Amino acid sequence: MAEVPQTPRDVLTVIVKSERSRKYVWTAGRVLIESGLEQLWYDADAKDKKRVLKSITELLEALASEGILTPRVERQSIGYGHEKGFDFVPPQKKV
């Protein structure tokens, strides 16, 4: 089983790989799903679930502060409840 992302760059790696084939709204739950960690979610107790979601949301917010993601105003009901959602901003190609 893969490891839970620990850094903003770990999360960015998941995002870039997944965005090659489809555009997503990125939430902590989506990062877990795209990382192949959904079984980790089902096996965890409520305290661990909350901790993991909070940690990944903080990593997503760090990427947003760098301009790599843009936050959505409305909460997302996809994934694991009403989560903060973000859109990936691909790097601009130089003309």
In DSSP notation, the chain reads: -PPPP-SHHHHHHHHHHHHTT----B-HHHHHHHTT-HHHHHHS-HHHHHHHHHHHHHHHHHHHHTTSEEE-SSPB-SSSSSB--EEE-PPPPP-
CA 50 to CA 93: how far, in whole Å?
38
Q: How many CA atoms lie within 13 A of 83 on its CB side?
A: 25
pLDDT tens for each residue of 62-83:
999 999 999 998 877 766 678 8
Residue 46, pLDDT score = 85
pLDDT tens for each residue of 5-32:
899 999 999 898 888 877 888 999 899 8
Residue 95, pLDDT score = 53
